[in-house]
Amino acid sequence: MTYQDIFTTELEGTRREGARLVDVRECEEYVAGHIPGAVNLPLSELVGREGEIGPNTVLVCASGNRSSQAAAYLASQGKTGLMNLSGGTAAWMREGRDLNGGEQP
């Protein structure tokens, strides 16, 4: 494994340090509610779009499963500085944190 799991409590600090948040859920899931500031790049579209992921990127999905798959795949393609949000959007919501709805920010 060449990516790091982080927790929701670490996300704000990581983002202050310049990390980008990429939501790998499908578009309908993203539009229904996503962590503020996240951009959508569905896991189903990741192959061929790896160039859109740079270092210092946090990957997120609903629970942390798809984002860990995305992180492992991207790491296998030579990407570095990747993080997976453990617990995903569900953990974010369980902590009472807000979601944004709609399209890309």
CATH number where 39 lies = 3.40.250.10
Question: What range does the domain containing 57 cover?
Answer: 4-94
Alpha-carbon dihedral of residues 44, 33, 9, 65, nearest 10 degrees? -30
Q: Give the chain's domain count.
A: 1
Q: How far apart are CA 37 and CA 22, in angstroms?
A: 9
Tokens of 53: 């992921």
Q: How far apart are CA 95 and CA 57, in angstroms?
A: 22
Considering only CA atoms, which of 41, 24, 32, 40 is closest in space to residue 101?
32
Give the active site residue among 6, 41, 61, 83.
61
Does some domain include residue 55?
yes
Q: Which amino acid, one-letter code, is at 78?
A: G
* Residue 41 near residue 24 (C-beta atoms within 8 A): yes
* Residue 8 near residue 85 (C-beta atoms within 8 A): yes
Does some domain include residue 85?
yes
DSSP state of 53: -
Q: What is the pLDDT of residue 103?
A: 83
The predicted model scores a pTM of: 0.95
Q: What is the pLDDT of residue 47?
A: 96
Over its C-alpha atoms, the chain yields an Rg (Å, rounded) of 12
Tell me the mean pLDDT per 10 residues along the chain, length 105: 92 96 97 96 97 96 97 96 97 95 78
Q: What is the pLDDT of residue 1?
A: 59
* Catalytic residue check, 61: yes
Does some domain include residue 104?
no
Does some domain include residue 56?
yes
